[in-house]
Amino acid sequence: MLVDLDDPIIRGLLINLVGEEGMNVVLKMPDGEVTDEEVSNVTEVPLNIVRRTLYILFENRLATYRRERNKDSGWLTYLWLIDISGINELLDNEMNRLLTNLKSKLDFEEDNMFYICENECGRFVFDLVAETEYLCPNCGEEVVFEENEIIKQSLRKRINELEDI
């Protein structure tokens, strides 16, 4: 399966995983099985970053390697192959993780009342400010009730958008 590396979503996920220099490894990776040293030479990316990138891709099932033992020296050589055809599964997992986090955040927003410090020290749940007699736990100033309906609407909207994908 061909993967469009110009797709902003796929590109964003890969950059989030491996960074800008790691993305250069993905974009300039030679065809076929190659050693990390060869990748470093071709891509002009430092060897430690190439190795980090390849291991991250491997952990996310976007790369594979094969070991060969040199019969003379006994050294192991790792031959790497990038296969990002599984990126859609990774995207699905990330979307499900995001959806779960958004739903948890919505539940938290719906189950709590919030207060904010007039000095902008932070946002606090009712239980905490009730213990401090409605004073900011950081600076001691009064806290005021914050209506969170806009936050809840925003979370619901984003959840619906993701569920419709």
pTM for this predicted structure? 0.71
Q: Which of 2-6, 62-66, 79-83 has the lowest mean pLDDT?
A: 2-6
pLDDT band for position 2 (50/70/90)?
A: low
What domains appear along the chain, each with residue ranges and CATH number?
8-87 (1.10.10.10), 89-163 (no CATH)
Instruction: State the Cα–Cα distance between residues 47 and 36, nearest whole angstrom.
Output: 7
Torsion of CA 135, 138, 141, 143, to 10 degrees: -50
Q: Enter the tokens of residue 32.
A: 């076929």
Question: Whole-number mean pLDDT of the chain?
Answer: 94
Q: Find the mean pLDDT for residues 8-32.
A: 93
Q: Find the mean pLDDT for residues 87-95.
A: 91
- Is residue 67 within 8 A of residue 78, CB to CB? The reply is yes
Q: Where are the alpha helices (DSSP H) in 60-146?
A: 87-111, 126-131
pLDDT band for position 7 (50/70/90)?
A: confident
Q: Find the mean pLDDT for residues 96-105.
A: 97
Q: Find the mean pLDDT for residues 43-48.
A: 95
pLDDT band for position 85 (50/70/90)?
A: confident
Closest CA to 89 of 61, 54, 53, 63: 61
Q: Find the mean pLDDT for residues 11-26.
A: 94
Q: Enter the tokens of residue 121.
A: 């020290």
Instruction: State the Cα–Cα distance between residues 44 and 25, nearest whole angstrom.
Output: 9
- Residues near 15 by Cβ (< 8 Å), separated by ≥ 6? 22, 23
Top pLDDT among 70 and 38 is at 38
